Amino acid sequence: MSNRLGRSALFAGLSLGELKIVEGFMHDRRYLAGEVVFDEREEGQALYVIASGSVLICRQGQADRPIARLGSGDFFGELALLDDSPRSAQARAADTTEIAVLFRGDFERLLQSHAHIASHIAIALARHLGQRLRLMVAGNGATG
């Protein structure tokens, strides 16, 4: 799994040893095509990293018009590491998909035991969220 984690921008720059440490805090899940990873409005409890396969992100009632299709190395659900806000969309496996899951409690334990690794991940998350915000602002014609 550490090889697959290393393909994600979330873990870029971590050594193989550090990836193995992170891997020890993650949980492997397998989803079949069409299986729901989480539903819109559900309480967020984890971050998901796609190891193989793909995931569709959809709004309620719009399953035929996905917001995004994510593939190997992509991650989603990252806000769940920060707060208890409900999910803003549904995540559903587009095909047989393997996902590494990092629950908030496990991230907090990683922060306590390996602060430098957890802070690296937190900075990568902040950069990702900042980039997404800039894209949203640019898409609305606003300046930032």
Percentage of the chain beyond pLDDT 90 is: 66
Strands of 19-130, DSSP E: 27-31, 36-38, 46-52, 55-58, 68-70, 75-76, 90-93, 97-103
pLDDT of residue 144: 46
As given in the structure block, the two tokens for residue 74 are 């992509």
Nearest to 88 by CA among 54, 48, 66, 60: 60
pLDDT higher than threshold 70 for residue 49: yes
pLDDT of residue 138: 80
Q: Which residue has the higher pLDDT, 3 or 24?
A: 24
CA gap 40, 88 in Å, rounded: 5
Q: Assign domain 2-139 to its CATH architecture.
A: Sandwich (2.60)
pLDDT tens, position by position, 77-132: 988 888 878 898 999 999 999 999 999 999 999 999 999 999 999 999 999 888 87
Pairing of strands 27-31, 68-70: unpaired
Q: What is the pTM of this model?
A: 0.88
pLDDT of residue 2: 56
